Amino acid sequence: MEEREQVKIFKALASESRLKVLRLLKEHPQCVNSIAARLKMTQPTVSQHLRLLKEAGLAKAEKRGIWMHYEFSAQSMKCQGITLAGIFEGEGKSTRATDGTLNCPPKVLKECRKAPEPKKKAG
């Protein structure tokens, strides 16, 4: 693995919030709304964390309808030889959603199904 890739991984793992996001993604694929609701963060903040995790190869995304669903990238982790103190291995392996938001927990499913807020006009 190149040094540049290693730096991206360690920068991504250097945030407590991103570690929390990764642990949620280990449960099952989730949309930004679900993660934001569960971690009590704003959607833009969660999106920024997910972007960094994706760039580091620790998460991957799949568009389902109008929503992006993110999941833990166990295969990428194994390819890169990452097994840090059991954070990414063992219990709670990620499962793929089969249809839309079926894997979102019931209490946050309503967040995942929310219509996106209209964009504000600059002015």
pLDDT digits (tens, 9 = 90+) for 49-67: 999 999 988 899 988 888 8
Q: Name which residue leads in pLDDT, 102 or 31.
A: 31
pLDDT at 85 over 50: no
Distance of CA 96 to the CA centre of its chain: 13
pLDDT at 74 over 90: no
Residue 70's pLDDT band (cuts 50, 70, 90):
very high
- Residue type for position 5: E
pLDDT digits (tens, 9 = 90+) for 19-37: 999 989 988 889 998 999 9
| Burial classification of residue 47, based on how many CB atoms lie within 10 Å of its CB (0-12 exposed, 13-18 middle, 19 or more buried) | middle
- What lies within 8 Å, CB to CB, of 31 at 6+ separation is 67, 68, 69, 70, 101, 104, 111, 112
Alpha carbons 97 and 82: distance in angstroms, whole number: 24
pLDDT at residue 91, rounded to an integer = 43
Domains, the chain = 3-112 (1.10.10.10)
Alpha carbons 20 and 39: distance in angstroms, whole number: 8
